[in-house]
Structure 1
Amino acid sequence: MNIASPHSPAPVVPPAAPAQAAGIALSPALVVRLYHRNTKHRFQAYAMGPGVLDWDAQPAAFRQYPGASAVVLPLIDELDPASPLAQAMAIPFGALPAPAPAQPATLAAIGALLQLSLGLTGWKSLGPDRWAVRANPSSGNLHPVEAWVIARGVAGLADGVHHYRPEDHALECRARDLDAPAGSPRLQIALSSAMWREAWKYGERAFRYCQLDVGHAVGALRYACALLGWRLAEQRQVGTATLAARLGLDRDADFPTHRFPESEREEAEILFTIELDDLADEAAPTPSALRAAAAAAEWYGQATVLDPRPMFRWPIIGEVAVATRRADDDAPRRTLSVPCTLPATRKTAADTGTAHPSAELLLQRRSAQRFTPEYVMPRSAFADLLRALKPHAGLPWDALGDPARITLVLFIHRVEGLEPGLYVFSRDGGAAAPLLARLQQPFSPQRVEGLGDDLDLRFLQQFETVQLHRLARSLHCHQDIAANACFALGMLAPFDAVVAEDAAAYRDLFREAGLLGQVLYLQAENLGLRGTGIGCFFDDPVHELLGLDGEAFQTLYHFTVGKAVDDPRIESTPGYPAREPQRG
């Protein structure tokens, strides 16, 4: 994900966050509003962040728990080519909305799940610099998201909590459940955020980017589950504190301590049950059961240091994290059913001879660094991409237990048959209606014909090519990538009413935006194109362009799609080169 944002210099200890400065307790909703306002980029100044970066002092990209035993997971290339699991990896990407045969919960299947969603997909080098790229994109390639597997009844894996180490594709046992009930295999997967990895570079805006990264990871997990014939069900009844306890993130003695301990801690984010069979109700955990399991478990290992000498502090990140934590809910979990309602006659990459084996495509995903400004995107490809963004396109929209809220505003530069200009795409008519009503005041939205009756794309305003180029570049922190793409887009979400009802939904909005980004990445890859997420944009100038005032709607994340131009200077090597000889 490209979030190249310059920052105004910040002191070693920035001014206190609004709630601290006031010396009073603010409501969670007000804390969220203050955070969101204070972390906007403006033409006059960027959000608070470090003035300089010492790349030699970057926080550790990987965390381990020495003292915890580890199980090395099989890689996809090590599978028997004739096995059902290996054959599932070759399912065409365009066929994924259809249910795949369910694979048994083995170490090999869990290894495939994690490799396709969170594992390393390659190493890049340019001169003396070398860095890893992963299946899930991340803001600035900093990867705050850590993954956890909670297993029961899986051969070769202890019952309990396991931390995923992507650098060597292994699970290390953090907690062994000594009294786990016998039964068929059960799996849960959880995500946490080491927020300092983002804050080190992006300062106060880092909380936004961590939530986007969680959304990207959720999308990557859901696509990988689809190949295995599994479903991913968010467990919204489990609160943040309960999840932290189950993962051991609240065990102070297990984490490094120094002057700024917040730089070493992780934030519990989200818990999923992996539905392996028809016993979904049995697999849904209760908060009390999770806390009891954590208390009775035998714990192992202590976390390695992320940053021994943090140079800055950003108290506002901690404030908004606390304000958006979810409480336990004893009500039954909600399952969001999203049936696939795409027309059977739609044209896909498979129809044009460009179908990709799903595993191959998931592992080849990259963020484009540059686009060629000459390429024109075919109209049919553009229509297929828009269809995949509709919540009734099937997966991955069933992963999150929350309705679709985001509407897309597009800066279309070069799409066959479409005039350069500003457009709005309604993914869901009901969700988009309030925004469209607001846009009718400065514009007269006209529906674009010829894309298909199921696509509600509306034309807002035409621009000269050069004018649109300058506008898109200017609004996206003066980045050429937003102007040279076939199109750029912004993700507009209802904000004020959503946050007023539930401050924790602030995370949900960004996660939906990240999930959208993951779909865009993979759909672009399947079309022979490439995408790039953009977190650096000037928030309010985007709203002003659309005639939006107040905070009823806010833009949360931007994205571009086009024909990528690769940098020949960058060398690539496999993600797990040391294990290459073992592949059959």
Structure 2
Amino acid sequence: MPNATAVIAYHNRTKHQLNAYAKGPESLDWDDQPSPFRRFADCDIVKLPLPGAELACRFAELDRPEAIAPRPVSLENVGLLMELAFGLSAWKQFGPDRWSLRCNPSSGNLHPTEAYLISTDPELLGPGVYHYVSHDHALERRAAFSADGCEPALYLGLSSIHWREAWKYGERAFRYCQHDIGHALAALSYAAAGLGWRVELLSECGDADIAAWLGLDRADDFVANEREAADLFCRIHADAPSTADFDPVALSGCLQTAEWFGKTGRLSGRHFYRWPVVDEVAEHALKPPTPPERQTWPAADLPAPSRDDSASRLIRGRRSAQHFNGKSAPLPLADFYRILAALLPGAKPPFTAWNWPAQVQLFFFVHRVDGLEPGLYCLPRAGELDALKQVCSADYVWQRVEAPFEFYLLTAGNVRQAAKTLSCHQPIASDSAFSLGMLARFAANVNAEAWRYRRLFWECGLLGQILYLEAEAAGVRGTGIGCFFDDAVHGVLGLQNDVWQSLYHFTVGEPLDDNRLQTFPAYAHLSDPGAP
């Protein structure tokens, strides 16, 4: 079966329908939930300086990252980068149950994403491959090699453990892993910008090369059903971007001398349910090496956020709301427009770490925004207005709203019940100030190159992280919604085929906090082993 055909078949198979959900476990084995922390045994450990340092910049300054003075390359600043991108942000406890939260969001808080550093700079870290353990805020040295002939550089790779998501979400898990890669790339971009650094996404790299560089192709080092899939590879620029093109052959040459260390422990004792379709679509969506692509984005011109907090405090304070106050005051229009403006591509994070033209369009279910009539709206991105008008319902009025950018009312009225129903009957989509659906240009991308299926979800996750942080900057809170009735969404919009597909939903509003939950500092256990 051709790759594109298989990927589209997987996508159709894993749609939630109004009368049936995608295949998942009939029950959850909570006693055997996969560990959220991967570790490799028998590796040297590089302890990073204690986390908690603050960035000097405020969140609003990230709108113009070129004005942020770069911090020097040091182990302390590399540790701060890893913490603000992938580290713990807090611990929560309810009764005997205790769990961690992280700076990078994850579907179901299951965290399938793993992060690796490769250093070819002997003055920073001994040349080698390092795995980041968020719980310990430490690096495990997976490989050591000679960096002779390699340009001194710092690289970062991202991978996914599909089993972590499949344990809970079954066949739909592959989608959610790709969302989380987009979340993680955006989190890395924001963290780097706060240091005055820049992330260059080396999107030309193929999965096989990334797997070899990170040691993911070493099958004997992993438990069979808990292996990692290569996703993205980046170069970190801590001062002026290198003018030298990335040379994958040179990096592969350095790693030919590598001595590898460590094997993983088990994440789960049992694998009661198996989801072979996840492994199958992963094979069909493998990315080969591709021509290098880089985008030049227009200058970002955003109004100041209402909560101009320290960038690091806002990043660490990001949370996913579990419930919203359905009777809260309307969201101020200025905050709403700031959020929308941040979703448009521009020369600010995380778009400075994104290499491809925008393929995702946004449809908003507006419930309570001050000065804006409730209804269904569209924010067209990257000149797709005419294309959207041609495929969407003929009943839409496409009335332009007076805003600093193109924004259109499609139909006015109370859309709370529609938002709730379409998002798997979840009140979080209707009790918020607004919710939205992310519509991706689907068939043309997947048929051109099957791996772009993953790229569409990465873009959705990237937008999701923008929404998370911008919601915090507006004094409210966001939540990603992976559960929605795919074709029912398409039906509401009037779509007739798979030219466009809904891939992610999101919601923003005033959270209702659960006072039964206790909150503890993220890293108290590092300085006080007896801390809860």
Of the candidates 329, 351, 358, which is equivalent to residue 397 of structure 1? Answer: 351
Partner letter of residue 138 of structure 1? Answer: S
What is the Cα deviation at residue 180 of structure 1?
3.6
Q: Does 1:409 align with 2:363?
A: yes
Secondary structure (helix, strand or coil) at the match of 2:287 reads coil
Q: Which residue of 2 aligns with 1:37?
A: 12
Q: Is 1:131 matched up with 2:99?
A: yes
CA contact (8 A) 1:158 1:173 kept: no
1:233-272 mapped onto 2 (5 Å cutoff): 233-256=200-223, 261=224, 263-272=225-234
Name the structure 2 match of 1:72.
47
2:29 is matched by which residue type in structure 1?
Answer: D
Partner Cα distance (1:393, 1:377) in 2: 27
Equivalent of 1:322 in 283, 299, 302: 283
Question: What is the alpha-carbon distance in structure 2 between the residues aligned to residue 581 and residue 57 of structure 1?
Answer: 28
Counterpart Cα distance in 1 of 2:363 and 2:56: 35
Question: 2:311 maps to which residue?
Answer: 358
CA contact (8 A) 2:490 2:501 kept: yes
Establish whether residue 172 from structure 1 lines up as the match of residue 140 from structure 2. yes
User: Could you say which residue in structure 2 is the equivalent of 1:105?
Assistant: 73
User: Take 2:528 and 2:191, find their aligned partners in 1: how far apart are those partners?
Assistant: 25
Relative distance call for 1:178 and 1:154 in structure 2 (3 A) is closer
Find 2:257's aligned residue among 296, 304, 312.
Answer: 296
Match of 2:35 in 1: 60
Counterpart in the other structure of 1:8? none
Q: Which residue of the partner structure matches residue 57 of structure 2?
A: 91
Partner of 1:223: 190
Q: CA deviation at 1:421?
A: 1.0
What's the CA shift for 1:158?
Answer: 1.5
Alignment-mate amino acid for residue 517 of structure 1: G
Whole-Å Cα distance in 2 between the matches of residues 531 and 180 of structure 1? Answer: 47
Structure 1 residues 279 and 116, CA, compared in 2 at 3 Å: closer, same or farther?
closer
Query: 2:125 and 2:367 mapped to 1: Cα distance?
Result: 51
State the distance in 1 between where 2:516 and 2:268 align.
30
Aligned to 1:208: 175
CA distance in 2, matches of 1:155, 1:127: 47
Unaligned runs of 5+ in 1: 1-25, 80-85
CA distance in structure 1 between the partners assigned to 2:313 and 2:511 by the alignment: 18
Look up the match of 1:545. Answer: 492
Contact 1:159-1:180 at 8 Å conserved across structures: no
Q: Compute the displacement of 1:472 (Å).
A: 1.3
Counterparts of 2:218 and 2:526, CA distance in 1:
34
Answer yes or no: is the 8 Å Cα contact 2:162–2:177 preserved in 1.
yes
Identity among equivalent pairs (%):
44
Are 1:335 and 2:294 counterparts? yes
Q: For structure 1, which segment, 217-226 or 391-400, has the greater mean C-alpha deviation from structure 2 after superposition?
A: 391-400
Cα-to-partner distance string for 1:348-374 (whole Å, 9 max, x where unaligned): 12xx5x310000000000000111112
| In the alignment, structure 1 residue 115 sits paired with structure 2 residue 83 | yes
Question: Could you tell me how far apart the structure 1 residues matched to 2:243 and 2:492 are?
Answer: 47
* Pairing 1:476-487 to 2, within 5 Å after superposition: 476-487=423-434
Question: How far apart, CA to CA, are the structure 2 residues paired with 1:232 and 1:427?
Answer: 23
Asked whether the 8 Å contact 1:413–1:420 carries over to 2, the reply is yes
For 2:97 and 2:236, locate their aligned partners in 1 and report how far apart those are by CA, in whole Å: 38
> 1:428-507 alignment to 2 at 5 Å?
428=382, 430-439=383-392, 441-449=394-402, 451-452=403-404, 455-464=405-414, 468-507=415-454
Q: 1:195 is matched by which residue type in structure 2?
A: H
Partners in 2 of 1:279 and 1:341 — Cα distance? 20
Q: Paired residue for 2:481?
A: 534
1: distance between equivalents of 2:237 and 2:296?
A: 14
Structure 2 Cα separation of the partners of residues 238 and 67 of structure 1: 29
Q: Give, in whole Å, the separation in 1 of the partners of 2:299 and 2:148.
A: 37
1:276 lines up with 2:233 in the alignment? no
In 1, distance between residues paired with 2:254 and 2:277? 33
TM-score by length of 1: 0.87
- More moved, 303-312 vs 139-148: 303-312
1:421 aligns with: 375
Q: Secondary structure at the residue paired with 1:108?
A: helix
Asked if structure 1 preserves the Cα contact closer than 8 Å seen for 2:127 and 2:147, the reply is no
How far apart are 1:325 and its partner, in Å? 1.0
Q: How far did 1:182 drift?
A: 6.8
Q: CA deviation at 1:92?
A: 1.1
TM-score by length of 2: 0.96
**Structure 2 SS opposite 1:489:** strand
In 2, Cα distance between equivalents of 1:463 and 1:179? 63
3-state SS of 2:158 partner = strand
TM-fit CA distance, 1:488: 0.4
Amino acid in the other structure paired with 2:56: A
Worse-matched range after superposition: 161-170 or 232-241:
232-241
Cα-Cα RMSD? 1.6
Per-residue CA deviation, residues 258-288 of structure 1 (Å, 9 max, x unaligned), is: xxx2x211000100011223352436232x3
**How many matched pairs?**
526
Structure 2 counterpart of 1:91, one-letter code: C
C-alpha change, 1:413 and 1:297, in structure 2 (3 Å) is same
Q: Is the counterpart of residue 158 in structure 1 residue 126 in structure 2? A: yes
Q: Is the 8 A contact 1:339 1:394 kept in 2?
A: no
Deviation of residue 244 (structure 1)? 0.5
Does structure 1 conserve the Cα–Cα contact (< 8 Å) formed by 2:150 and 2:251? no
Gaps of 5+ in 2: none
Corresponding letter in the other structure for 1:250: D
CA contact (8 A) 1:407 1:432 kept: no
Aligned to 1:371: 324
